[in-house]
Chains A and B, each alone.
Chain A
């Protein structure tokens, strides 16, 4: 770790790095004979940072995490329950809250499903085939990550709004996209597109095409190969992508805010409702909804950790 920082300020520090290699290399070099005569404490200092330095680094990290991550989380739950459990449950039972929860679940379900399909297809194409423009496609997949979500929402307003490219046509055919579920779903799909594809591309590239070739030479059709060989091999990566995609879909604010129109009880998702209630000084209701999103985040974290372990195991398994 200390080597990575690459900052060696004093000759004393320089010296403390150098013998590290000598100590760790277990060779019967003459140097080993002199090693036991050194005081043990001095040896320990060579292997790691001095005690005070370690203490300061650890304290800084813990303090930072407490202030910026743990504290806000505690505040969310504390505010949500500030008027008691009854008030908390009542806030969640409000029709507006229920409608927001339903809409959020619906939008998440739509965008996760679509991105699951698109993501697998895109990752499949990129990792198993060679074609012109592949690099461009890989770059484009990341576009939603690099563009501000507000811009992502605006794009759909420009496309489907009353003054947009498809606006007049849509109006004459009585199709409502903006300020309705389709618009919210579209914006969410756009913003969350990279998650599944990003999770799968490196995994599928690393696995290569040999198992697929083996399946085909054994007489399997393309579909059989996909469902019996490819899909089982990527299932943990796929779940990982879906999990992150879902978390973002439920939590998305910027893009959805632009296309939603904020129609109460109709086009407000949970994050939007949190803001509205907060602006109306309904702190308990606002934080109650927020606490649901916070819980989603915590659950996501736990599942993500489990999946990451599974993925690591999978990798350890193929390396021979």
Chain B
């Protein structure tokens, strides 16, 4: 089912959690809401679920006004960060809950409910835990049960609030891939909230980057990584070298020295130059716009990470670059640097 959110505003006191947010989610998509804490992503998710109400704006699920219905009537599967499993019920009863509380007129008979719960436990590969209590499960198992429970009501959409936030790194990675393949299997329109960019880029079809209650950029993982729309997105996704520069009619300057790079249409005045660490290539001596002394080199895996003190500004501007290991770098060496790709954003962006 498609979801459409229009002009949503939500304030907590004077703090605007959501500031005029518009979002369209296509049927069958797996969308990530990515942003730092306080960016409004969880609030947006809760509004779609009906657990919070906007001050103004519209929410439509499958073309139908969702705000005219309460959370219990929206048929939305919600998975909580801390699982929120019913602690006094077995795993089986947790998953069966949504089926047992249906109005008598449409409630299934016991055999159908049992079969359905069994099927869901098979789907999340935990049928052998049916008679355990939530406290006897590991974090990853609990999260999968929470997902099975949400799927039991045949939700029109599935919403996941930081689904892997409380898990340790290894389990997290496994569950990511698992969620991805589960979505391929059942194709329910899903939105998940995360503050972990790697998670968003790895799992989602599309990523919505949020900051301070606004949407900064919507795009595929490739788009938001390679073509960040704003300085915030560039800084938040992937690791970047950020240098304060001045843009004027005759070019770009760093610490008063002209740099041989294009201003990319940035307005004259203070600006920031963003370069990915691995996009800062080592150039033949004197050939790049930057020059600096290597202070320190660490090598791991396929790269060597070098700390370089740029010439000018008395060597106080220090950047970190990732270089391939085909040429061993030495501390103390003077190198020239040429950015392969870079972006310049005016400082107020």
Contacts and interface: CB of A to CB of B under 8 A. Distances in A.
A220 B101 contact: yes
A229 interface: yes
A220 B75 CA distance: 11
Interface stretch (B76-84, B187-195, B324-332, B335-343): B76-84
Contacts of B85: 211, 214
A219 B98 contact: yes
Given A215-B101, A220-B97, A210 B88 contact: no
A211 B87 contact: yes
Contact of A210 (B71, B84, B102, B139): B84
A146 interface: no
Given A233-B88, A318-B87, A220 B139 contact: no
Contact of B76 (A217, A224, A232): A217
Interface in A283-314: 314
B225 interface: no
Contacts of B139: 320
B72 A221 contact: yes
Contacts of A224: 101
A224 B77 CA distance: 18
B135 A218 contact: no
B86 interface: yes
A63 interface: no
Contacts of A18: none
Interface in A255-297: none
B80 A214 contact: yes
Interface string B114-154: 00000000000000000001010001001000100110110
A244 B250 CA distance: 83
A41 interface: no
B50 interface: yes
Interface residues of A, number: 20
Interface in B42-99: 49-51, 70-78, 80, 82, 84-88, 97-98
B140 to A, nearest CB: 12
Contacts of A229: 86
A214 B84 contact: yes
A211 B51 CA distance: 12
Contact of A218 (B82, B88, B101, B133): B101
A83 interface: no
Contact of A317 (B97, B101, B135, B146): B135
B101 A217 contact: no
A213 B101 contact: no
Given A224-B101, A228-B101, A218 B153 contact: yes
Contact of B72 (A210, A216, A228, A318): A216
A311 to B, nearest CB: 13
A228 B97 contact: yes
Interface residues of B, number: 33
Contacts of A216: 51, 70-72
A215 B93 CA distance: 12
7 contacts: A211-B85, A213-B71, A216-B72, A217-B77, A217-B150, A218-B97, A229-B86
A214 B133 CA distance: 17
Given A219-B72, A233-B87, A210 B97 contact: no
A215 B78 contact: no
Given A228-B86, A320-B139, 12 more contacts: A213-B84, A214-B85, A217-B50, A217-B71, A217-B76, A218-B98, A219-B72, A219-B73, A219-B101, A219-B153, A233-B87, A320-B166
A304 B110 CA distance: 39
A109 B70 CA distance: 39
A226 to B, nearest CB: 12
Contacts of B70: 216
Nearest to B49: A217
Contact of B51 (A213, A221, A320): A213
A314 to B, nearest CB: 8
Given A210-B82, A318-B135, A320-B139, A218 B149 contact: yes
A306 B2 CA distance: 53
A261 B124 CA distance: 68
A211 B77 contact: no
Contact of B97 (A215, A318, A320): A215
Given A213-B78, A317-B135, A221 B87 contact: no
Contacts of A215: 86, 97, 101
Nearest to A221: B72
A217 B66 CA distance: 13
B261 to A, nearest CB: 51
Nearest to A218: B98
Contacts of A211: 84-87
Given A213-B80, A214-B84, A233-B87, A221 B135 contact: no
A233 B101 CA distance: 18
B306 to A, nearest CB: 36
